[in-house]
Amino acid sequence: MYELRKQHGDKIDIAYQHERSSQQFLFSGGGEVWYNNTQHGSFSEFLSKPTPIFMVDGTGVKLEELPATFVFCSPHRDWRKYMNAIYVHARVLPVWPWQHLVAARQLNFQDVSEQPLAELYTKWGGIPRVVLEKADSKSYQIITMDKALAKARSLSDILATVGHVSAPDDDSGRILHYAVEPDFIEFQVFFASQWVADEVVRSAGQQAERQIREFVAAQENNPQAAGLRGQVLKALEHKVL
């Protein structure tokens, strides 16, 4: 929003919708701001014009009915039909590095000490919602994250997602992360941590070695899978040892 304003000034109007809460904000080029707490269609008359920008934090939007649209959401299979359109461009945001998490803790999460943050980061990676916002929620850590891990313990299902736009379900996206290149287009898929990789391979049982060998052979020339290949091979070594 900042970059659009800097580039186009008051020539554009911007509507922002928060999907989960249904809150909508309209930022006009003239500086006025309107707010509406009803579900979709609050600014339908405005959105029917050719010039506005529509921003959605979530997934419940019909793109074909809207003007220029930015959608901010987790990768999901529902978006595949849109990705084939010539006017649609996807960009991938990376997980947060340790330095950013420490800075965010000092600014907004001072009740979270650095030691538990480091422990959660080592286990679940740089996802602020998990390691900062929900750091003190034992039930979230035990139930939600263990649920995600349990759903992802089918190694063959996990390995089959590499190269696709989405993980098999929303939960497994918490343990499969993207390592993003500076262009925000190229990326690699990897487990949130080596601990997660070890757990997935351990739970795969006797089939793990065969599945990993097949995966490594099939993905040998796929740069997106390079990091994941190394993780599962290392996890297999741990299992054997």
Give Cβ neighbours of residue 57 (< 8 Å, ≥ 6 apart). 16, 17, 18, 19, 20, 72, 73
Question: For a pLDDT cut of 70, what percent of the chain falls above it?
Answer: 77
Q: Smallest Cα–Cα separation from 208: which of 160, 172, 161, 155? A: 155
pLDDT confidence of residue 111: 92
More confident residue, 76 or 234: 234
Q: What is the DSSP letter of 65?
A: G
Q: Smallest Cα–Cα separation from 15: which of 89, 78, 66? A: 66
| Mean of all residue pLDDT scores within the chain | 78
Question: For a pLDDT cut of 90, what percent of the chain falls above it?
Answer: 14
- pLDDT classification of 165: cutoffs 50, 70, 90: very low
- pLDDT classification of 167: cutoffs 50, 70, 90: very low
Distance CA 93, CA 128 (A): 13
pLDDT confidence of residue 218: 74
Q: Smallest Cα–Cα separation from 179: which of 90, 99, 94, 96? A: 94
* Mean pLDDT for the stretch of residues 43-52: 72
Q: Is the pLDDT score of 64 beyond 60?
A: no
Q: Smallest Cα–Cα separation from 164: which of 144, 178, 181? A: 178
Distance CA 67, CA 83 (A): 16
pLDDT confidence of residue 103: 96
* Mean pLDDT for the stretch of residues 90-113: 92
Strands (E) in the chain, as ranges, are: 14-18, 23-27, 33-36, 53-57, 68-72, 176-180, 187-191
* Mean pLDDT for the stretch of residues 111-135: 92
For residue 37, CA distances in Å to 1, 16, 54, 60, 134 come to 20, 12, 16, 16, 26
Give Cβ neighbours of residue 179 (< 8 Å, ≥ 6 apart). 94, 187, 188, 189, 190, 227
* Mean pLDDT for the stretch of residues 151-174: 58
- pTM score > 0.75 for this model? no
| Backbone φ and ψ of 53, nearest 5° | -105, 135
Q: Is the pLDDT score of 160 beyond 70?
A: no
Q: Smallest Cα–Cα separation from 165: which of 223, 91, 63? A: 91
More confident residue, 202 or 39: 202
* Mean pLDDT for the stretch of residues 26-44: 74
Residue 47's DSSP bridge partners are none
Distance CA 183, CA 187 (A): 9
- pLDDT classification of 132: cutoffs 50, 70, 90: very high
Both structure tokens of 22: 């249904």
pLDDT confidence of residue 159: 63
Q: Is the pLDDT score of 143 beyond 70?
A: yes
Lowest pLDDT segment from 18-22, 48-52, 73-77, 195-199: 73-77
